[in-house]
Homo-oligomer: A and B are copies of this chain.
């Protein structure tokens, strides 16, 4: 029954995975084998997907399997048929899928559809068998678990509800907001397990935003608090069994190792800067080394090695291996990292704030150059934004960094409150827009513009190239009594050299006749220029211009420029908003025809190319759309 299988990527790389449909609960050695096999599957699915979170998946997989073994035993003993487990941190989705696969909820092939359109979402979504709720934005887990507990009580259903949190996630305020009423309502059915791997995105939890005395904080909130070894399935299992009769909600801190099970993944570099396996896939070489280490462990075990006897290696051709860059590609992030360092040197009033995303928001250079003016806030966006507020009131220019979804939706009221003080604060929202799509809609900011546009006095920019980034920041700094939101598309960077700055707000990327594309951001600027190149083959010479200052009225010069065209296509990477629409409508003078190529609603997730195509925002779809209107 137990055996390994192999899928072969186009590159020739063999992805080893472990096939098994069911736990064998009678044999605890079987669980140990499952823990190792699941690690192979996590790695295979991430390697096939081209991205995913290895470290947190390896640190949490044993806990997940222990919880499922525990639930299965309660089913068999008729204690409960309705136990609920879900993971709040969500970026451990590859582990969750490996565990669901081991449990029999997912079939083998599904593992290889991780982060694919209509496949397994980058963060858990309810469409997947065994997934109870959508997660991916940190901090919501305990509240969600309480909702399940309340629902089960109302339905008189006996159930234990176990939610897995990350240890960095404990920095979110909602976690602590959620504790007291669970205690008040004696939610003894509720179990929180923290995957205590002690490393968050940027660094060690203790250096970043320490827990201090976690047990005191939790017990002080009226909960029971226990610790255990999160890699000892039997210990976790016994702890869950032993605590069934407790009267209080239970909080377990499971000591784990990030990347546990593979020595290279367990390593934190000596430079102390970044753990290397928080997110992203690995090279072929690392993949081979890691799987070899796991298989060696299997072979080294007397019982497990007997399971290996059944290994088969059929060769199955998979689809094209997605793009996994060996070096970090140029983007507005890398550009920002250098430019930020430069302006902080020039402007002493700049203070930067970051919420555990230094690598992805480009603060990694400046935090070294200007440690006093760098505030690492941890995963605490509301705290970060309110701190920025009073720094601004005190005469500083705070630049606030996070991913665009988290930055615009978690601390919305705090941003509004700051805006009522009419100070200058720059909010930098990264990973903005439809792409990268693999992580799913919790990370795909498409309503960020609508929300930030509702904040009084907010200036909104979406640069597409290095020059526009610099220009946007320059303009934002000059706005001394109003805040600015800089939307940073993190994929690609439009070349600045083929741009002719106008005196107005438009930058002309390509001259043309009759038809003009107006767009913003690196992704759609690049796609639009490509679309124009495609249309040239059909004899159409269309223009492309970018308007980085999204909610600024067009100047006379802009209008003059636009009025030379017959048709204008607005190509947008976000849901429609009032001010952008109206400012274009103002231009709808006699003879000018305006159309929108954009998106609305919940964005799809999957590989970048397939999602871009799905929403009709790739260069070919844009070109087709324009061409179809011409014909």
Contact = CB atoms under 8 A, between A and B. Distances in A.
A389 B147 contact: yes
Contacts of A183: 210, 212
A514 interface: no
Contacts of A28: none
A361 interface: no
Given A134-B417, A387-B147, A413-B409, A209 B221 contact: no
Interface stretch (A4-12, A38-46, A487-495, A572-580): A572-580
Interface string A552-590: 000000000000000000000001111101100100000
Contacts of A134: 417, 420-421
Interface stretch (A167-175, A232-240, A327-335, A501-509): A167-175
A126 B418 CA distance: 11
B133 A421 contact: yes
A215 B220 CA distance: 8
Interface stretch (A65-73, A374-382, A615-623): A374-382
A77 B433 CA distance: 56
By size class, the interface of chain A is 35 or more
B391 A151 contact: yes
Contacts of A286: none
Contacts of A222: 210, 212-213
Contacts of A346: none
B174 A173 contact: yes
A519 interface: no
A3 interface: no
Interface string A373-413: 10111101011111111110111100000000110111011
Given A134-B420, A173-B175, A177-B176, A456 B386 contact: no
A216 interface: yes
A588 to B, nearest CB: 10
Nearest to A390: B147
A253 interface: no
A383 B181 contact: yes
B390 A151 contact: yes
B412 A174 contact: no
Given A212-B222, A409-B416, A576-B578, A421 B180 contact: no
Contacts of A210: 180, 183-184, 222
Contact of A180 (B171, B578, B602): B171
Contact of A450 (B221, B450, B585): B450
Contact of A151 (B152, B215, B396, B413): B396
A219 B146 CA distance: 26
B171 A173 contact: no
B578 A450 contact: yes
A376 B175 CA distance: 17
A417 B382 CA distance: 17
A158 interface: no
Interface string A173-195: 11111101101100000000000
A521 to B, nearest CB: 18
B451 A454 contact: yes
A393 B414 CA distance: 29
Contact of A140 (B125, B386, B410): B386
A147 B385 CA distance: 9
Contacts of A412: 408-410, 412, 451
Given A137-B417, A412-B409, A413-B405, A180 B154 contact: no
A454 B445 CA distance: 11
A456 B172 contact: no
Nearest to A126: B421
Interface in A441-477: 441-442, 447, 450-451, 453-457
A299 to B, nearest CB: 43
A150 interface: yes
A22 interface: no
Contacts of A173: 139, 172-178, 382
A132 interface: yes
A219 B213 contact: yes
Given A180-B211, A210-B222, A409-B416, A391 B450 contact: no
A414 B173 CA distance: 13
Interface string A108-132: 0000000000000000011000001
Contact of A387 (B126, B150, B180): B150
A448 to B, nearest CB: 9
- Most-contacted residue by chain B among A177, A213, A375 (CB, 10 A): A177
A165 interface: no
A285 interface: no
Which of A145, A151, A408 has the most B CB atoms < 10 Å from its CB?
A: A151
A372 interface: yes
Contacts of A384: 143
A314 B142 CA distance: 60
A269 interface: no
A152 B395 CA distance: 10
A133 B296 CA distance: 61
Listed from nearest, the 4 A-B pairs whose CB atoms lie closest are A173-B173, A216-B220, A147-B390, A173-B177
14 contacts: A135-B417, A137-B414, A145-B390, A147-B391, A148-B390, A150-B375, A171-B177, A175-B176, A181-B209, A212-B220, A450-B453, A451-B451, A454-B575, A581-B581
Given A217-B220, A576-B578, 6 more contacts: A137-B414, A140-B382, A177-B382, A181-B378, A405-B413, A412-B451
Interface of A: 125-126, 132-137, 139-140, 142-148, 150-152, 154-155, 171-178, 180-181, 183-184, 209-222, 351, 372-373, 375-378, 380, 382-391, 393-396, 405-406, 408-410, 412-414, 416-417, 419-421, 441-442, 447, 450-451, 453-457, 575-579, 581-582, 585, 601-602
